[in-house]
Amino acid sequence: SVQEFMTFTSQLIVERSGLGTRASVKEQEYLCHVYVRSDGLAAVLIADNEYPQRVCFTLLDKVLDEFSRQVSRMDWPSGSPATISYAALDGYLSKYQNPRDADPMTKVQAELDETKIILVRQ
């Protein structure tokens, strides 16, 4: 299933990534972006090739920072979605569905691209 693919791939990528690293790995038609902080806390974002890499790492950074403030470090190693409540994740996922809305730099770039198209047409 999709959930099993995401879980297996995420675990494998995190295990193969060193502390303090960010990387993007292509898996089938997706890009898996991983950020492993120096304290060992890690997150993986799986997106299509169209989603901007910079926005992925911005989201991962925000989620990990907030998670580390809300959840005790003692709970990280043994925690799971069943035992750790992190309600903010749904809000982030909703906000970042459209990178243009979530990220000011992406929005400006898109507006510049649209302006270029308009100028070329005239």
* pLDDT reported for residue 87: 86
| pLDDT the model gives residue 12 | 93
pLDDT of residue 86: 87
pLDDT tens digits in sequence order for the chain, 122 residues long? 888 988 899 999 999 999 999 999 998 888 999 999 999 999 999 999 888 888 899 999 999 999 999 998 898 888 877 788 888 888 888 888 887 776 666 666 666 666 766 666 65
| Inter-axis angle of helices 88-95 and 53-70, nearest 10 | 160
What is the domain partition of the chain in residue ranges?
Answer: 2-119
Per-residue pLDDT at 24: 95
| CATH class label, 2-119 | alpha beta
Strands (E), 18-117: 21-27, 30-36, 42-48
Do residues 45 and 60 lie in contact, with contact meaning Cβ atoms separated by under 8 Å? yes
- What pLDDT was estimated at residue 77? 83
- pLDDT score for 106: 61
With beta carbons less than 8 A apart as the criterion, state whether 33 and 57 touch. yes
What pLDDT does 104 receive?
63
